[in-house]
Amino acid sequence: MPVIIGTRGSSLALAQTAKVCALLQKQGTEVEELIISTRGDTVTSVPLHEIGGQGVFVRALDDAILAGEIDAAVHSMKDIPAKRPEGLVTSAIIMRDSPADFIAHTIPLDSVRVIGTSSTRRKAQLLRHDPSLEIRPLRGNVDTRLRKLEEGLYDAIILAEAGMQRMNLDICGERLPPDTFVPAPNQGTIAIVSRDDPGLNKTLSRLDHEQTRNDVMAERAVMEEVGGGCFTPQGIYCAGGHLIAEVLSLDGKRCVRLEKDIETLEDARKCGIQLHNEAKELITEAYRTLGIEDER
């Protein structure tokens, strides 16, 4: 019987799932795709933090696995919340693509004034770079965002470079350096989540990339200790054990940053605890400003 792989219906999600299915088929595994609708895809008129954060993209697929409708699901790993339901495992983490953000623009970069993004992290980092910028909310899939850019609603928009690469998009713009515009934890990484079944996990785990898993699990360990969800502007990026993590104020004027070489998940957790303690005021301020109850 084929392994039934669930996916969102956006162009990017389908491209990512096609990549995973091709890898599985190459190793001799029969697969079948099933599209699952999520609230994050259907409610695009408000910021993510108002409908539950990045987890809204994952919840429907989790439920479909637990209900036996699908065997596994393909996700952008940065969308997977820290707290996971029982009965699910991350069977494989694919070799990481570019972790960087990309600024796509229709006019010369030095003329850009209005930038579209609904990410509190991207907004804060852009304002830190240039406080005179006007950051306007922008949600929707990649196609929708690019259409709004072409319609002139924005001078530029921010995308994940990995998504563009997976969709084979050739867009005018520049890569933003990850050491300055520190990415969201796990950005550029595809994960396969499945039910906790030894046989299924053995099949899927053949696609696991050890170095990527080590790096992104370190990022998640920091993220879990820092807290703040998608409400607090924070960038966390680990490459070959070199960790950069920061928490910013919503307006980008203040920042707590940590940069260290780590060897273990315990090292990462210690960094996360340190960052949380040093940035606690910024985290509390973000929750208060956005009118959200602090998770801690």
Choose, from 62, 71, 79, 97, the residue flagged as catalytic: 79
Task: Judge whether 79 counts as a catalytic residue.
Answer: yes
Tokens of 193: 């989540």
Strands 31-35 and 3-7: parallel
Q: What is the DSSP annotation of 197-230?
A: -HHHHHHHGGG--HHHHHHHHHHHHHHHHH--TT
Q: Largest alpha-carbon pair distance within the chain?
A: 57
Structural contact between residues 294 and 287, judged by C-beta atoms closer than 8 angstroms: yes
Separation between Cα atoms, residue 286 and residue 296, nearest integer Å: 13
Place of tokens 């490459």: 239
**Number of CB atoms found within 10 A of residue 137's CB:** 12
- Output the 3-class SS for 11-64: HHHHHHHHHHHHHHHHCCCCEEEEECCCHHHHCCCCCHHHCCHHHHHHHHHHHH
Tokens of 218: 């370190």
Q: Is 287 left (phi over 0), alpha (psi -120 to 50) or beta?
A: alpha
Separation between Cα atoms, residue 222 and residue 274, nearest integer Å: 9
Tokens of 289: 């400003």
Catalytic center residues: 79
